[in-house]
């Protein structure tokens, strides 16, 4: 089996003109890859923006581009709203159910049902970040913002069509990992999160940040239409209701 290495596009020491030719030959005139062409040009301004991809030791830049394009195409063809949830990869700990059962003075059937509900909530939490990006994509595309779907750029979820603004999306203020923080050092990437916390009379309540995101989008509209992007929590929740009613298998109790 050929040795596998992790490579980024900058490892191949190829000129941007050659890379453009390679991308064009692989992407062709497929309309579903039009946005990827814009993302590609954004990446060419700084090759470190391209993600690491596992390739054979003898792989060429064309092998990288082929796998990179496929990752985007696969993600676009199967958006989060259409995916079916898989059961979790590990078994539940029976001791946890025992603790709940005794503490709640419940029978085994009730405790098992609560465990299934817990799995549903965890499954929903796992998919919500991707659904948030899909909602933002639908809402911002008319304003010239591109969804970098399929992890095609490192630590970047959206970019303006002219590449001037890069945007990272998080569901909560505490969901960013250290690697994405390091990537952003020295790079102009806007950061936004949906859900913060406010305290009212000692109670922790949600503090939504949609106005901040709307300001970012409206400050850089590239399509010539009015700057009236108005994403909000009600609209987002309606999006979630619609896609979940159409795909109840989006979460799993297993």
Tell me the pLDDT tens digit for each residue of 11-40. 999 999 999 999 999 999 999 999 999 999
pLDDT in the model for residue 225 = 87
Shared domain for 98 and 22, answered yes or no, is no
Q: What's the half-sphere exposure (Cβ side, CA atoms, 13 Å) at 177? A: 4
Among the three residues 22, 54, 77, which one is the final residue of a domain in this structure?
A: 77
pLDDT in the model for residue 4 = 82
Residue 118 belongs to domain spanning: 90-254
Shared domain for 170 and 210, answered yes or no, is yes
Mean pLDDT over all residues of the chain? 92
Taken as a whole, the chain contains a residue count of: 254
Please answer whether residues 51 and 9 qualify as being in contact, where contact means their C-beta atoms are separated by less than 8 angstroms. no
| Averaged pLDDT, 59-66 | 98
Answer whether residue 247 is part of any domain. Answer: yes
Shared domain for 3 and 114, answered yes or no, is no
Please answer whether residues 58 and 2 qualify as being in contact, where contact means their C-beta atoms are separated by less than 8 angstroms. yes
Shared domain for 179 and 123, answered yes or no, is yes
Shared domain for 51 and 102, answered yes or no, is no
Please answer whether residues 19 and 13 qualify as being in contact, where contact means their C-beta atoms are separated by less than 8 angstroms. no
Shared domain for 56 and 105, answered yes or no, is no
Shared domain for 200 and 225, answered yes or no, is yes
The two structure tokens encoding residue 234? 């009600």
pLDDT tens digit sequence for 174-222: 755 544 444 554 556 899 999 999 999 999 999 999 999 999 999 999 9
Among the three residues 77, 107, 129, which one is the final residue of a domain in this structure?
A: 77
Q: What Rg do the C-alpha atoms of the chain give, in angstroms? A: 21
Answer whether residue 71 is part of any domain. Answer: yes
First to last CA, the chain: 36
**Which of 150-166 are b and which e, b meaning 16 or more Cβ less than 10 Å from the residue's Cβ?**
bbbbbbbbbbbbebebb
Answer whether residue 139 is part of any domain. Answer: yes
Q: How many domains does the chain have?
A: 2
Q: d(Cα 26, Cα 17) in Å, to the nearest integer?
A: 15
Cα dihedral: 89, 93, 94, 99 (round 10): -140
**Matching residue, tokens 């987002």:** 236
pLDDT in the model for residue 179 = 47
Shared domain for 34 and 141, answered yes or no, is no
Identify the H or E element spanning 228. Answer: none
pLDDT tens digit sequence for 111-162: 999 999 999 999 999 999 999 999 999 999 999 999 999 999 999 999 999 9
Among the three residues 24, 51, 77, which one is the final residue of a domain in this structure?
A: 77
pTM given for the model: 0.91
pLDDT top residue among 1 and 124: 124
Shared domain for 114 and 69, answered yes or no, is no
């Amino acid at each position: 089996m050929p040795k596998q290495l992790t490579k980024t596009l900058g490892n191949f020491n190829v000129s941007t003109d050659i890379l453009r030719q390679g991308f064009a030959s692989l992407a062709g005139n497929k309309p579903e890859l039009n946005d990827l062409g814009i993302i590609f040009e954004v990446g060419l301004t700084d090759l470190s923006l391209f993600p690491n991809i596992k390739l054979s030791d003898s792989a060429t830049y064309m092998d990288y581009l082929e796998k990179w394009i496929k990752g985007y195409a696969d993600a676009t063809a199967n958006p989060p709203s259409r995916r079916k949830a898989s059961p979790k990869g590990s078994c539940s700990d029976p001791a946890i159910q025992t603790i709940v059962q005794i503490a709640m003075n419940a029978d085994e059937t009730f405790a098992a049902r609560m465990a299934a509900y817990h799995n549903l909530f965890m499954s929903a939490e796992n998919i919500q970040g991707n659904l948030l990006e899909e909602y933002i994509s639908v809402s911002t595309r008319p304003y010239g913002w591109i969804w970098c779907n399929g992890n095609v750029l490192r630590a970047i979820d959206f970019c303006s069509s002219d590449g001037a603004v890069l945007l990272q999306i998080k569901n909560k203020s505490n969901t960013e990992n250290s690697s994405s923080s390091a990537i952003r050092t020295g790079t102009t990437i806007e950061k936004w999160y949906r859900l913060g916390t406010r305290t009212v009379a000692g109670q922790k309540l949600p503090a939504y940040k949609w106005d901040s995101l709307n300001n970012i989008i409206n400050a850089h509209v590239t399509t010539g239409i009015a700057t009236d992007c108005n994403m909000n929590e009600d609209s987002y929740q309606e999006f979630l209701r619609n896609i979940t009613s159409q795909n109840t298998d989006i979460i799993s109790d297993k």
